[in-house]
């Protein structure tokens, strides 16, 4: 059963859907949206259980999140259009391209693999369980360390992201990590015929170059670029470079 998602928009022009990482919301795209809004309408989505979108129901899969986004795109009458996702949002974008390809013209994904190795699944589920058992404060320091550079973490810029995590629903965090732990799109990548643009952040502690390359090489029409010295949350710390690459891709694959 799909959930009606909260969303906001910036700019005018052809629409682009933006999907955020786990634990954040559509507002994490503000800097990118400002840079692209002169020619595009940026639809900043709050995924299920995040931001102002409803929390229920429990036990949510990536397919459920993709269905939610598909439902929103259909209601807004904006399909087919590009979808951009980072980390968890990139996984949802990939599933959207698999299950609802008719709604998507191209996807841009960053900081996410297309499959989780079997040996890593328990650790990712435990990451979610930790918050459910001990509260969000228990996972915030390690999460920020994985996400951002030291300079960013020590600056005032990190404050809204720390607050967002602390205000999150721990059970949504748990359910989202369980959904990630179960992910394996490797057998379905070859079915994706629409253009897929992968952006790797060189200093990403969560998704390797090889993981992004596997996606780019696994689909029928894939590309891969690298933003050097960038962390996992590349769209937040390096919005200029990230936006420039997205703009360039959309100009060639509108």
Which tens digit of pLDDT belongs to each residue from 223-235? 999 999 999 999 9
pLDDT at residue 208, as a whole number:
96
pTM across the whole model: 0.97
pLDDT at 56 over 70: no
Number of domains within the chain: 1
pLDDT at residue 59, as a whole number:
67
Residue 90 lies in a domain: yes
Query: Rounded to an integer, what distance in angstroms lies between the CA atom of residue 68 and that of residue 75?
Result: 11
pLDDT at residue 57, as a whole number:
66
Percent of the chain with pLDDT over 70: 98
Q: How does residue 3 score in pLDDT terms, banded at 50, 70 and 90? A: confident
SS3 letters across 143-161: HHHHHCCHHHHCCHHHHHH
| Nearest to 26, CA basis, from 49, 3, 51 | 51
Instruction: Please give the sequence-ordered ranges of beta strands (E in DSSP) within the chain, or none if there are none.
Output: 7-10, 14-19, 40-45, 81-86, 104-110, 196-201, 222-227
Which tens digit of pLDDT belongs to each residue from 160-170? 999 999 999 99
Find the CATH number of the domain harbouring 83.
3.40.50.1820
Cα–Cα distance list, 109 to 82, 146, 196, 200, 214 (Å): 11, 18, 8, 9, 12
Residue 1 lies in a domain: no
Residue 2 lies in a domain: no
Q: How does residue 242 score in pLDDT terms, banded at 50, 70 and 90? A: very high
| Nearest to 109, CA basis, from 13, 185, 27, 31 | 185
Residue 164 lies in a domain: yes
Domain residue limits at 104: 7-252
Contact between 39 and 197 under an 8 Å Cβ cutoff? The reply is: no
Q: How does residue 254 score in pLDDT terms, banded at 50, 70 and 90? A: low
pLDDT at 138 over 80: yes
Residue 119 lies in a domain: yes
CB neighbours of residue 9 within 10 Å: 16
């Amino acid at each position: 059963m799909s959930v009606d998602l909260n969303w906001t928009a910036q700019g005018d022009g052809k629409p682009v859907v933006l999907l955020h990482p786990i634990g954040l919301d559509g507002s994490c795209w503000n800097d990118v949206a400002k840079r692209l809004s002169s020619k595009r309408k940026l639809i900043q989505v709050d995924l299920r259980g995040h931001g102002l979108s409803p929390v229920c129901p429990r036990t949510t899969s990536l397919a459920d999140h993709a269905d939610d986004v598909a439902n929103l795109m259909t209601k807004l009458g904006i399909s087919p259009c590009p979808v951009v996702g980072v980390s968890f949002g990139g996984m949802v974008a990939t599933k959207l391209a698999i299950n609802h390809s008719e709604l998507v013209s191209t996807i841009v994904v960053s900081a996410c693999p297309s499959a989780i190795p079997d040996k890593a699944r328990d650790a990712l589920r435990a990451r979610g369980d930790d918050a459910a058992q001990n509260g969000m404060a228990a996972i915030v320091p390690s999460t920020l360390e994985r996400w951002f550079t030291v300079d960013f973490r020590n600056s005032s810029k990190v404050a809204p992201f720390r607050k967002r995590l602390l205000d999150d629903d721990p059970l949504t965090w748990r359910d989202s990590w369980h959904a990630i732990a179960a992910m394996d799109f490797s057998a379905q990548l070859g079915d994706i015929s629409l253009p897929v643009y992968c952006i790797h952040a060189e200093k990403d502690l969560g998704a390797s170059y090889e993981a992004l390359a596997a996606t780019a090489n696994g689909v029928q029409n894939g590309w891969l670029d690298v933003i050097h010295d960038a962390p996992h949350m590349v769209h937040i710390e390096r919005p200029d470079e990230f936006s420039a690459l997205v703009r360039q891709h959309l100009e060639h694959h509108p």
